[in-house]
Amino acid sequence: MNDHGSMGRTARLSADEAGLAEAAAILQRGGLVAFPTETVYGLGADATQAEAVAGIYAAKERPSFNPLISHLESFEAAKVQGTFDDTARKLAEAFWPGPLTLVVPVAPTCTISDLARAGLDSVGLRVPAHPLAHALLKATGRPVAAPSANRSGRVSPTDADHVLSDLDGRIDAVVEGGASDVGVESTIVACLGGAPRLLRPGGVPREAIEALIGQTLESGLEGGEKNPLAPGMLASHYAPRAQVRLNATAIEAGEAILLFGPERMQGSEQAKAALNLSKNGDLKEAAAHLFSYLRQLDASGAQTIAVAPIPETGLGDAINDRLRRAAAER
């Protein structure tokens, strides 16, 4: 697949053992597969492979990175990825499998890529109830990151034809599993210590959650690009400690540098640390490295991270959006 998400034909896979085995194999080798869940169809990629996750953004033409929900076959599998406090455990036991997503701190054993978490130390996890989603996750044996399987700005798809009308030729396959019955996305609750917060209303009613935990849910806005959370409530974006200087063409003493493409930067021998997002100028590779490289450069102790110009095409939009936020957030 190229930066614009175009590729050959999208395969329609049947909802049987052979179709699911093929879907799992595609996911394991880093491809993109849309599949039914009880809420909406998800556009799945192996959450542990950052380049596969970058493919989701390319296919959806999403202009910014936000943390994605990773789907798991069981609560047991979810515990490898996240740390569940008492409230989170209670919610998982009551509502999983089902249309509830829990945002919890990453576990030390977490294998979900930085890109799927948008660089955060928390992770969004869900165990879907749809039997085909469950079977696919079991066959894949990995966390599967999956936002709704539509192009950015369009409505969420509830059947395979909706998916193909947006993404045909841009993803490897779709599992044909009939109509999703909930039709709205999962409810998202953050359990990050302190009171649990409702980040997005969805398939599980707020009242059902409050009745179970015996307390009112605090509200927290969805951490998407349209509704950044109030500072101090819940960090919705990873921000490096260092200042970030964009479109740098030369570096100053003591800076760390984030390069892109084959060109060297003037003064780079003096850099405190230097990493190249993609020496070949491949935006998908760059997206896959973005958050971990920012963290590594931040850890060098440099006051400023100077970032080389990155083209505003394809995934470059989302990369630049993230970098602009990192440069502005202070």
Binding region for Mg ion (CB under 5 A): 148
Among 5, 31, 32, 39, binds ligand TXA (CB under 6 A): 39
Among 15, 50, 77, 120, binds ligand TXA (CB under 6 A): 120
Residue 66 makes contact with ligand TXA by CB under 6 A = yes
Q: Which residue is nearest to ligand TXA (CB)?
A: 124
CB of 196 to Mg ion, least distance (A): 23
Q: What would the 3-class secondary structure string for the chain be?
A: CCCCCCCCCCEEEECCHHHHHHHHHHHHCCCCEEECCCCCCEEEEECCCHHHHHHHHHHHCCCCCCCCEEECCCHHHHHHHECCCHHHHHHHHHHCCCCEEEEEEECCCCCCCCCCCCCCCEEEEECCCCHHHHHHHHHHCCCEECCECCCCCCCCCCCHHHHHHHHCCCCCEEEECCCCCCCCCCEEEECCCCCCEEEECCCCCHHHHHHHHCCCCEECCCCCCCCCCCCCCCCCCCCCCCEEECCCCECCCCCEEEECCCCCCECHHHCCEEEECCCCCCHHHHHHHHHHHHHHHHHCCCCEEEECCCCCCCCHHHHHHHHHHHHHCC
By beta-carbon proximity to ligand TXA, the closer residue of 83 and 304 is 83
CB of 324 to ligand TXA, least distance (A): 18
Residue 197 makes contact with ligand TXA by CB under 6 A = no
Residue 98 makes contact with ligand TXA by CB under 6 A = no
By beta-carbon proximity to Mg ion, the closer residue of 147 and 177 is 147
Residue 81 makes contact with ligand TXA by CB under 6 A = no
Stretch that binds ligand TXA, among 10-18, 217-225, 268-276, 278-286 (CB under 6 A): 217-225
- Count of residues binding ligand TXA (CB under 6 A)? 30
Residue 188 makes contact with ligand TXA by CB under 6 A = yes
Which residues contribute to the site for ligand TXA (CB under 6 A)? 37, 39-40, 42, 66-69, 99, 101, 103, 117, 120, 122-124, 126, 128, 146-148, 185-186, 188, 199-200, 222-224, 236
